[in-house]
Chain A
Amino acid sequence: MKFHPEGSATERPLVSLVDDDESVRESLPDLLREFGFAARAFSSAEEFLVSDCIGQTGCLILDIAMPGMTGPELQQELKRRRQEIPIVFITAQRDETVRPRVLEQGAVECLFKPFSDTALLDALNTALRLN
Chain B
Amino acid sequence: MEELPADEIKRLRRCNNDLVSVLALPAMWSGAEPSQIVHTFLDALLGMLGLDLVYVRLKDPIGDSPIETVRIAQSRKQMPQPQEVCDLFNRWFGDDPQKWPPLVRNPIGDGDISIVPARLGLHGEIGLLLAGSQRAEFPCQTERLLLSVAANQASIGLQEARLLSEQRRVAKELDQRVAQRTTELAQTNQELRREIADRRRAEEQLRRSEAFLTEGQKLSRIGNFSWLVPTDDIKWSEQLYRIFEFELGVPVTFELIGSRVHPEDLPLLYDMIGKAQRAVSSFEYEHRLLMPDHSVKYLHLIAHGSRDNQGRLEYIGAAQDVSQRRLSEEALAKARSELANVARVTSLGVLTASIAHEVNQPLSGIITNAGTCLRMLSADPPNVDGARETARRTIRDGNRASDVITRLRTLYSKKDLSPESMDLNEATREVTALSLSELQSKRVILRHELADDLPAVTGDRVQLQQVILNLLRNAADAMSAVDDRPRELLIRTECDEGDRVRLSVKDAGVGFAAQAADKLFEAFFTTKSDGMGIGLSISRFIIEAHHGRLWATANDGPGATFAFSIPCAARAWPTPKTRVNQADPLTGAA
Chain A interface residues (CB < 8 Å from chain B)? 1-3, 21, 23-24, 26-28, 30-31, 34-35, 64-67, 70, 90, 92-94, 112-117
Q: In the bound complex, how far is the Cα of B357 from the Cα of A64, in angstroms? A: 14
Judge whether A67 and B364 touch: CB under 8 Å: no
Q: Which residue of B lies closest to A27 (CB)?
A: B368
Asked if residues A94 and B367 are in contact (CB atoms below 8 Å), the reply is no
User: Cβ of B393 and Cβ of A27 under 8 Å apart?
Assistant: yes
B1-A1 in contact (CB<8A):
yes
**Are the C-beta atoms of B440 and A65 separated by less than 8 Å?**
yes
Per a CB cutoff under 8 Å, which of A1, A31, A66 touches B371? A31
Q: Which residue of B lies closest to A91 (CB)?
A: B441
B372 CB, nearest partner CB in chain A, Å: 4
User: Which 8 A-B residue pairings sit nearest by Cβ, starting from the closest?
Assistant: A65-B441, A117-B371, A113-B364, A114-B364, A114-B363, A34-B375, A23-B365, A27-B368
The A contact surface, by secondary structure, is: loop
Contact with A along B366-397 (1 / 0, CB 8 A): 11110110011001010100100010010001
Given A115-B367, A117-B368, the answer on whether A26 and B23 have CB atoms closer than 8 Å is no
Using Cβ atoms and an 8 Å threshold, which residues of chain B touch A34? Answer: 371-372, 375-376, 379
Task: Give bound CA distance, A108 to B249, whole Å.
Answer: 81
Cβ B363 vs Cβ A27 within 8 A: no
B36 on the A face (CB < 8 A):
no
Partner of B360, one of A1, A2, A65, A114: A114
Contact among B1, B360, B376 with A113 in the assembled complex (CB-CB below 8 Å): B360
Q: Does the CB pair A92–B372 fall under 8 Å?
A: no
Q: A93-B357, A112-B360 are in contact. List 16 more A-B contacts (CB 8 A).
A: A2-B383, A23-B361, A23-B364, A23-B365, A30-B369, A30-B372, A31-B371, A31-B375, A34-B372, A34-B375, A34-B376, A65-B440, A113-B360, A114-B363, A115-B367, A116-B367
Is A24 a contact partner of B365 (Cβ separation < 8 A)?
Answer: yes
Distance to closest chain A CB from B349 (angstroms): 12
Asked whether B353 lies within 8 Å of A94 as measured between CB atoms, the reply is: yes
The smallest beta-carbon distance between A122 and chain B, in angstroms, is 13
Asked if B356 CB lies within 8 Å of chain A CBs, one says yes
Contacts of A92 in B (CB 8 A): 357, 360-361, 364
**How many Å lie between the Cα of A89 and that of B375 in the bound state?**
23
Taking A1-B381, A94-B356 as contacts, is the C-beta distance between A27 and B361 under 8 angstroms?
no
Q: What's the minimum C-beta distance from A131 to chain B, rounded to whole angstroms? A: 24
The answer for the CA separation of A28 and B364 in the assembled complex, in Å, is 10
Nearest CB of A to B96, in Å: 32
Interface residues of B in 412-454 (CB under 8 A from A): 440-443
Name the contact of A31 in the complex, choosing from B363, B368, B443 (C-beta under 8 A).
B368
Chain B residue numbers with a CB within 8 Å of A2 are: 383
**Contact yes or no, B365 A27, CB < 8 A:** yes
For the complex, is B107 an interface residue (Cβ under 8 Å from A)?
A: no
How far apart sit A94 and B381, CA to CA, in the bound complex (Å)?
A: 39
State the interface size on chain B (CB cutoff 8 A).
32
Q: Is the CB of B443 within 8 A of A70?
A: yes
* Cβ-neighbour of B364 out of A3, A30, A94, A115 (below 8 A): A115
Q: Within 8 Å CB of A114, what residues of B?
A: 23, 360, 363-364, 366-368
Is B223 an interface position by the 8 A CB rule?
Answer: no
Contact between chains at A27 and B369 (CB < 8 Å): yes
Judging by beta carbons under 8 Å apart, are A24 and B368 in contact? yes
Which of chain A's residues have a CB closer than 8 A to the CB of B367?
114-117
Asked whether B362 is an interface residue with its Cβ less than 8 Å from the other chain, the reply is yes
CA distance A3 to B1 in the complex (A): 13
Chain A's closest residue to B530 (CB) is A97
How far apart sit A23 and B365, CA to CA, in the bound complex (Å)? Answer: 6
* Most chain A C-beta atoms within 10 Å of own C-beta, residue among B353, B365, B367, B368: B368
Q: For B393, list chain A residues within 8 Å (CB).
A: 23, 26-27
Q: Smallest CB-CB separation from A112: which chain B residue?
A: B360
Q: Smallest CB-CB separation from A70: which chain B residue?
A: B443
Chain B nearest CB: distance from A62 CB in Å? Answer: 14
A67 to B440, CA, bound (A): 6
CB atoms of A28 and B368 under 8 A apart: yes
With contacts A26-B393, A30-B390, A93-B357 taken as known, whether A3 is within 8 angstroms of B383 at the C-beta atoms is yes
| Chain B minimum-CB-distance residue to A34 | B375
Tell me how far the C-beta of B209 lies from the nearest C-beta in chain A, rounded to whole angstroms.
69
In the assembled complex, the CB of A9 is this many whole angstroms from the nearest CB of chain B, namely 17
State in angstroms the CA–CA spacing of A6 and B358 once bound together: 37
- Cα-based distance from A19 to B264 in the complex (angstroms): 58
A94 to B361, CA, bound (A): 11
Complex interface bits, B343-363 against A, C-beta within 8 A gives 1, otherwise 0: 000000000010011001111
What residues of A have a CB within 8 angstroms of the CB of B379 in the complex?
3, 34
Indicate the member of B23, B356, B366, B372 with the most A CB atoms within 10 Å.
Answer: B372
**A113 — nearest CB in chain B belongs to which residue?**
B364
A18 to B500 Cα, complex, angstroms:
48
Q: Looking at the complex, which one of A31, A65, A70 makes contact with B372 (CB distance below 8 Å)?
A: A31
Which of A3, A21, A115 has the most chain B CB within a 10 Å cutoff? Answer: A3
**Which one of B1, B361, B372, B442 contacts A21 once the chains associate, using CB atoms below 8 Å?**
B361
Instruction: Decide if A23 touches B360 in the complex (CB within 8 Å).
Output: no
Instruction: Compute how far the CA of A66 lies from the CA of B440 in the bound complex, rounded to whole angstroms.
Output: 7
Q: Determine if B357 and A94 form an interchain contact, defined as CB atoms under 8 angstroms apart.
A: yes
Across-interface contacts of A27 in B (CB, < 8 A): 365, 368-369, 372, 390, 393, 397
Say whether B441 contacts A93, CB under 8 Å. yes
16 intermolecular pairs with C-beta atoms under 8 Å apart: A1-B1, A1-B381, A2-B383, A3-B376, A23-B364, A23-B400, A27-B365, A27-B372, A28-B368, A31-B371, A31-B375, A34-B375, A67-B443, A114-B364, A116-B367, A116-B371
